[in-house]
């Protein structure tokens, strides 16, 4: 049983993201949910809270937030991407 209206909303979007003709938001929700369920086990509480902070940062400042995070983890795009 899911007792969070926010989680239920996310899962509804993710479920719709599987279908033909689904929106970009629904597809992204599905990708995010699958990524979390495949990678969240073993993260401590601080890291789990950091996931929310990461999303907040990138949504508030899409370009600079993304650049900041990429720099922080040492991510470099390959040439041609």
Give pLDDT, residue 80: 64
Are residues 56 and 64 in contact, defined by beta-carbon separation less than 8 angstroms? no
pTM for the complete prediction?
A: 0.80
Do 34 and 47 lie in one domain? The reply is no
Residues 6+ apart with CB under 8 A from 17: 23, 26, 27, 28, 29, 30, 31
Do 33 and 48 lie in one domain? The reply is no
Q: For 12-29, what is the mean pLDDT? A: 97
Q: For 14-42, what is the mean pLDDT? A: 96
Mean pLDDT of the residues in the chain: 93
Do 33 and 66 lie in one domain? The reply is no
Look up the domain containing 80 and give its range: 42-81
Do 81 and 46 lie in one domain? The reply is yes
Q: For 23-49, what is the mean pLDDT? A: 96
Do 32 and 46 lie in one domain? The reply is no
Rounded to whole angstroms, the Cα distance separating 31 from 22 reads 13
Do 34 and 52 lie in one domain? The reply is no
77 falls in which pLDDT band (50, 70, 90)?
confident
Are residues 31 and 17 in contact, defined by beta-carbon separation less than 8 angstroms? yes
Query: What is the domain count for the chain?
Result: 2
Q: For 3-18, what is the mean pLDDT? A: 96
């Amino acid at each position: 049983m899911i007792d969070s209206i926010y989680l239920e909303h996310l899962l509804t979007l993710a479920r719709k993201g599987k279908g033909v003709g689904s929106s970009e938001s629904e597809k992204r929700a599905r990708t995010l949910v699958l990524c979390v369920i495949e990678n969240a086990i073993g993260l401590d509480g601080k890291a789990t809270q950091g996931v929310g902070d990461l999303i907040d940062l990138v949504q508030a400042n899409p370009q600079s937030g993304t650049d900041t995070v990429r720099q922080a983890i040492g991510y470099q795009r390959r040439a041609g991407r």
